[in-house]
Amino acid sequence: MTTPRVVAAGASVLALLTATACGGGGGGGAADDNMHVWMYQDTLVVVQDAAVERFNAESDVQAVIDEVPGDNYEERLRTAMGSSEQPDVFFNWGAGSIQPYVEQDMLMPLDDLLAEDPELADAFIPSILEAGAVDGVQYGIPLRGTQPVILFYNEAVFEDVGVEPPQTWEDILDLVDAFDEAGVTPFALAGADPWTEQMWLQYLVDRIGGPEVFQRIHDGDMEGWRDPAVLEAAETVQDLVERGAFGDAYASVSYTEGGASTLLSEGRAAMHLMGSWEYSTHLDQDRAFAEEDLGYTVFPPVPDGEGDPANVVGNPTNFFSVTADTAYPEQAQEFLGYTSQEEYVADMVANGEVPTTTNAEEAVADSPNPEFATFQYEMVRDAPHFQLSWDQALPPETATPMVTEIESLFNGQSTPEQFVDALAAL
Partner 1 sequence: MFAALPMVLVAYLSLTSWGGLGTPEFVGLENWSRLAGDPVMRRAVWLSLVLTVLNWIVQTPIALLLGVWAAGPQRNRAVLSAIFFLPLLLSSAAIAIIWRALLDPNFGPLAWLGPRLGLGSVDVLGGPTSAFAMIVFVTAWQFIPLHMLLYQGGARQIPASLYEAARIDGAGMLRSFWHITLPQLRHTITTSSVLMVVGSLTYFDTVLILTGGGPGTDTTIVPFLMYRAGFRSWELGYASAIAFTLVVVATVIALLLVRFTGFGSMRSTREGM
Partner 2 sequence: MTTTTTRPRAAAAVRPRRSGSSGNRRRPNLLAGAGSLLWLAVVGVPLYALLVATFQRGENYTSDGPLTPPSDPTLDNYATAIENGLLGFVLNTAIVTLAVVVIVVALSATAGYAVVRSRTRWTNGVFRAFLLGLAIPSQAVIIPVYLIIVEMGLYDSLTAIVLPTAAFALPVCMLILVGSMRDISEELYEAMALDGAGSVRTFVQLVVPLSRPGLSTVAVYSALQAWNGFLFPLILTQSHDKRLITMGLFEFQGEYRVDVPGLLTAVVLSTVPLFVVYLVARRSLVAGLMGVGGK
Least separation in angstroms between residue 249's CB and partner 1 is: 4
Answer yes or no: are the C-beta atoms of 368 and 46 closer than 8 Å.
Answer: no
252 binds partner 2 (CB under 8 A): no
Q: Determine, following the binding rule CB under 8 A, whether residue 67 of this chain makes contact with partner 2.
A: yes
Minimum CB distance to partner 2, residue 266 (Å): 9
**Segments of 185-256 assigned E as strands:** 185-188
Minimum gap (Å) between residue 2 Cβ and partner 2 = 8
**Which residue in 34, 71, 325, 369 binds partner 2 (CB under 8 A)?**
71
Task: State the nearest-atom distance from the C-beta of 285 to partner 2, in Å.
Answer: 7
Rule CB under 8 A: choose which of 79, 84, 167, 359 binds partner 1: 79
What is the rounded distance in angstroms from the CA atom of residue 81 to the CA atom of residue 187?
38
Query: Does 68 sit near partner 2 (CB under 8 A)?
Result: yes
The correct pick among 54, 78, 243, 385 for binding partner 1 (CB under 8 A) is 78
- 99 interacts with partner 1 by CB under 8 A: no
Angle at 103 between CA 97 and CA 109, to 5 degrees: 80
In sequence order, what are the residues at sequence separation of 6 or more whose Cβ sits closer than 8 angstroms to the Cβ of residue 16?
none
Q: Give the start-end residues of each E strand in 294-337.
A: 294-297, 312-315, 319-322
Instruction: For residue 352, give the DSSP letter.
Output: T
| Collapsed DSSP state (helix, strand, coil) of residue 247 | coil
Taking the C-alpha atoms of residue 234 and residue 240, their distance in angstroms, rounded to an integer, is 10
Please give the helix or strand (H or E) that residue 90 lies within, else none: strand 89-92
Looking at residue 300, the DSSP 8-state letter turns out to be P
- 50 binding partner 1? (CB under 8 A): no
Give 120 or 403: the residue with its C-beta nearer to partner 1: 403
Does residue 66 bind partner 2 (CB under 8 A)? yes
Assess 70 for contact with partner 2 (CB under 8 A): yes
Residue 250 near partner 1 by CB under 8 A? yes
Q: Which of the stretches 76-84, 160-168, 287-295, 321-329 binds partner 2 when contact is defined by CB under 8 A?
A: 76-84
Instruction: Give me the least distance between CB of 85 and partner 2, in Å please.
Output: 4
Q: Which of 46, 50, 81, 241 binds partner 1 (CB under 8 A)?
A: 81
Q: Does 33 bind partner 1 (CB under 8 A)?
A: no
Q: Which of 105, 177, 221, 257 binds partner 2 (CB under 8 A)?
A: 257
Q: Taking the complex as a whole, how short is the minimal distance between the CB of residue 153 and partner 2, in angstroms? A: 20
Work out whether strand 294-297 and strand 386-388 pair parallel, antiparallel, or are unpaired: unpaired
Q: Which is nearer to partner 1, 191 or 307 (CB)?
A: 191
Report CA dihedral (149, 372, 128, 109) to the nearest 10 degrees.
Answer: 100
Measured from the CB atom, the residue of 285 and 341 that comes closer to partner 2 is 285
For residue 313, give Cα distances in angstroms to 33, 133, 186, 211.
40, 19, 21, 10
Site string for partner 1, 152-191 (x = CB under 8 A): ---------------------------------------x
Q: Please give the backbone phi and psi of residue 232, each rounded to the nearest 5 degrees, phi first.
A: -65, -40
- Residue 9, contacted partner among partner 1, partner 2, none, CB below 5-8 A by kind: partner 2
CA of 133: how far to CAs of 56, 160, 380, 383, 398, in Å?
28, 48, 20, 21, 21
Report the residue from 44, 80, 143, 189 that binds partner 2 according to the rule CB under 8 A: 80
Rounded to whole angstroms, how far apart are CA atoms 204 and 300? 9
The rounded distance, in Å, linking the Cα atoms of 152 and 296 is: 4
Q: Under the criterion CB under 8 A, does residue 76 sit at the interface with partner 2?
A: yes
| Nearer of residues 7 and 249 to partner 1, judged by Cβ | 249
Single out the residue of 49, 69, 160, 292 in contact with partner 2 (rule: CB under 8 A): 69
How many Cβ atoms are within 10 Å of 353's Cβ, its own excluded?
Answer: 27
H or E stretch covering 273: strand 269-275
Smallest CA-to-CA distance from 174 within 271, 267, 296, 311 is with 271
Binding track, positions 13-32, relative to partner 2; x by CB under 8 A: x--xx--xx-xxxxx---x-
DSSP code per residue over 183-198? T-EEEE--TTSHHHHH
Closest CA to 29 of 111, 112, 89: 89
Of residues 81-100, those binding partner 2 (CB under 8 A): 82-85
Q: What residues make contact with partner 2 under the rule CB under 8 A?
A: 1-3, 6, 9-10, 12-13, 16-17, 20-21, 23-27, 31, 41, 66-71, 76, 79-80, 82-85, 256-259, 262, 285
Q: What residues make contact with partner 1 under the rule CB under 8 A?
A: 75, 78-79, 81-82, 100-101, 104, 106, 191-192, 194, 247-253, 259, 262-263, 268, 396-397, 399-401, 404-405, 407-408, 411, 413-414
